[in-house]
Structure 1
């Protein structure tokens, strides 16, 4: 029973909540309810910090959580970047950097799975880029909220965030090639075996 329900824990619930919050954030921000959108984004940022804290301190790590956490981060980032680019077209170049980075990482993850390798879990540099992302975009959204949007400030913040995103991409690329060449058991994954195990657990 414990193995069957191990994925239903607080960190995974917070991660799923962060994914769900994408919908009301975009709806509020694009329809002019900026204050409400800011509150939703702050809540999403808190869930991002809390899920890792709870997982570490209460030993609630799961493979599902390790896969969902970066997906949730990227989904939230994409929603914010797209929403801001719609309102401020000058931000489109940053959006393109974000899209290229995420496409590369998604492709890399698919390659590792195809090779029977475990995709890289979220690392500190990825988390740092995420924190900077939230700081930058919350700042821009707050400027929208109080109607003192300054394009120069927005561009500077975006350049700094983009630099850290590129740094994270380079570091993840190093990890990708390490895992690709690795023969260590912890870097291997058998999708078919995992699916069979889940089916057996459901039947128990």
Structure 2
């Protein structure tokens, strides 16, 4: 957790990414001018089926993350979901996949008059030095759709990396930076006109 605590980190998030909450799949909608999506396998294949394909997708993730955060500490945000605003302290997937993470914030992500249909996202955070391969278990879990909602960020929250099953969204500090990254890895882009 940063020195200013959970609320200070929320203020920093709001200063960089408002009005978007720290929900990875919403970022590209709110900040399209800073966003690029990369697919993790050739031909936009969604899921790896063998060791060679896992090696390819982890190499792509690590390559882009390293370009964004080489030599820096990063925040790793992970998510769990429940029907209540209190996270379950036992068996949280994000705690297992991101050891040392601490509770950060809870967001009501699906409001409904019936409490049984409300969904709360419980976010955890940890700060760690970025090293190539250091997040591979987490990235592989996301690639296999065992976990979701992961965001990796520099400590100033100026650049974000949101892996999902099939690829990753990168959000950079400026449109110029985004365009340069997109050009370096144009073979990993979608052929769809929207970039999805």
The TM-score range, normalised by the shorter chain, is under 0.3
Q: Relative to total residues, which structure has the larger helix share, 1 or 2?
A: 1
The TM-score with structure 2 as length reference comes to 0.26
The TM-score with structure 1 as length reference comes to 0.25
Greater Cα radius of gyration, structure 1 or 2 = 1
Q: Relative to total residues, which structure has the larger strand share, 1 or 2?
A: 2
